[in-house]
Amino acid sequence: SAVISQKPSRDICQRGTSLTIQCQVDSQVTMMFWYRQQPGQSLTLIATANQGSEATYESGFVIDKFPISRPNLTFSTLTVSNMSPEDSSIYLCSVEVHSSEQYFGPGTRLTVT
């Protein structure tokens, strides 16, 4: 498995502002992912964070709204830009340990007012 931490754990932000979420893992991993979990809903993949290259975004998610950095094999950031109340969600990072087996961080609970 892997130990994953996220910062901040929660935040309340005003619309129009941006928030950067950090994800740190205790070992080097090739694959890191960012998910969104809207209140009471399932998990939706936002993007795959690629080390050394641009992130790969899923349909419905764009780089201008959710820029992602992956400077090394243990760290990634997700920024939620120009926020609106519809962005209120839990944002989760995960890492693949081997062969599709993914472990999740504790999540960042974002409320946009």
Partner 1 sequence: GENVEQHPSTLSVQEGDSAVIKCTYSDSASNYFPWYKQELGKGPQLIIDIRSNVGEKKDQRIAVTLNKTAKHFSLHITETQPEDSAVYFCAASSGNEKLTFGTGTRLTIIP
Q: Residues in the site for partner 1, rule: CB under 8 A? A: 1, 4, 31, 33, 41-45, 48, 92, 96, 99-107, 109
Write down the least CB distance from residue 99 to partner 1, Å: 7
**Residue number with CB closer to partner 1 (13 or 43):** 43
Residues contacting 7, CB < 8 A, separation 6+:
21, 22, 24, 108
* SS3 sequence of 36-104: EECCCCCEEEEEEECCCCCCEECCCCCCCCCCEEEEECCEEEEEECCCCHHHCEEEEEEEEEECCEEEE
Structural contact between residues 25 and 2, judged by C-beta atoms closer than 8 angstroms: yes
Nearer to partner 1, 26 or 101 (CB): 101
CB 90 within 8 A of CB 36: yes
Q: Which is nearer to partner 1, 28 or 102 (CB)?
A: 102
Our CB check for partner 1 shows the closer of 11 and 96 to be 96
- Cβ at position 43, least distance to partner 1 in Å: 5
Closest distance of CB 72 from partner 1, Å: 19
Nearest distance, CB of residue 78 and partner 1, angstroms: 14
